Amino acid sequence: MLQGALAGLAAGGLYAVLAVCLTLMSRLVRVVNFAQSATGMFGCYVAVFLSVQFGLPTWLATVAGILLGGLLSALLGWIVSTWLAEADTGARSAVTVAVLLLLISLSFILFGNKPQPFHPILDGPALTAGGVVISQVTVVTVALAVLVALASRLVLSRTSAGVELRALSERPTTAELLGIPAKRLSVAVWAATGVVSTLVVSIVAPSQSNDATSLAMLVVPAAAAALLGGFRRLDLAVAGGLVLGLVQGAAAQVDGLSVARYFLPFAVIVALLLWSQRKEVWDAAR
């Protein structure tokens, strides 16, 4: 079971990175980006297409796919910042649901509905501890989750751009009146999270269910992890993603629980939403 739990930690690192991106998007640009993993999926599919059809080296095709993922996310951010600047979080988030469905449909049209032949960027074990093998993918994804969270915190607390982003998130109208370039900063956040999402999906996709729908719906466990931190705290988002991956990996080793692991993110989301509403529910019941 321990080996299975550590195998699930690779997916946990992926969930954690995506959860950090979702948290940043929610805090800084007031969007729950349901297309977060879909842009990564589409970038990965284009990378496979470039590698198979045009013979590009795997590393070069992967870089092109990552840049495309960032560009797609930046384009979506520009559209939201231009035409939905005054809309509430619900309306801005609804647009990303449409983009999620659009990217899944577009991938079916362009690449078919079969899983793509991903070439592993990382392969093989990284180390063995007490007879338990830990893969390179696990080490890199977990390290990437921690690094992205720490780097985001440093940028937000120690740089002028971070101060401006925090001002925009807290007092958007006042910040714009003070001359802070709201649209440019918002698009930069969209682009950065798009690049990071595509990078981590590229690393993990060869070892996961690599069809378009499965990769695009990775946003669900990521949302469960981000919800643990209330879409505000980066440390809890990382912890939630890693724990979720560990539990899913351990459950996969038990015959009676192997199917239930697919529903675990939904159960976590429902439980956390009910817990967050406990005061209102109890007050209404009294």
Higher pLDDT, 278 or 145: 145
Q: What does the pLDDT read at residue 130?
A: 67
In sign, the C-alpha dihedral spanning 99, 167, 222, 275 is negative
Please, which residues have CB within 8 angstroms of residue 224's CB and are 6 or more apart in sequence? 15, 240, 244, 265, 266, 268, 269, 272
Statement: residue 97 has pLDDT above 90: yes
Q: What does the pLDDT read at residue 100?
A: 95
Phi first, then psi, for residue 255 (nearest 5°) are -55, -45
Residue 135 is classified by DSSP as: E
Rounded to two decimals, what is the model's pTM? 0.90
Taken in order of first residue, the domains within the chain and their CATH numbers are: 1-284 (1.10.3470)
- Output the six-digit token pair for 8: 């699930």
Q: How far is CA 97 from the centre of its chain?
A: 14
Residue pointed to by tokens 């577009």:
106
Statement: residue 157 has pLDDT above 80: yes
Across the chain, the runs of DSSP E, i.e. the strands, are 125-129, 132-135
Please, which residues have CB within 8 angstroms of residue 2's CB and are 6 or more apart in sequence? 132
Statement: residue 17 has pLDDT above 90: yes
282: confidence class by pLDDT, cuts 50, 70, 90: low
Q: What does the pLDDT read at residue 206?
A: 83
Q: Angle CA(268)–CA(249)–CA(108) in degrees, nearest 5?
A: 80
Higher pLDDT, 127 or 233: 233
Statement: residue 88 has pLDDT above 80: yes
94: confidence class by pLDDT, cuts 50, 70, 90: very high
Average pLDDT, stretch 86-101? Answer: 90
Q: What does the pLDDT read at residue 101?
A: 94
Rounded distance between C-alpha atoms, residue 147 and residue 142, angstroms? 9
CA torsion, ordered 149, 141, 107, 39, to nearest 10 deg: 10
Q: Tens digit of pLDDT for each residue in 108-133?
A: 999 988 888 888 888 777 777 667 77
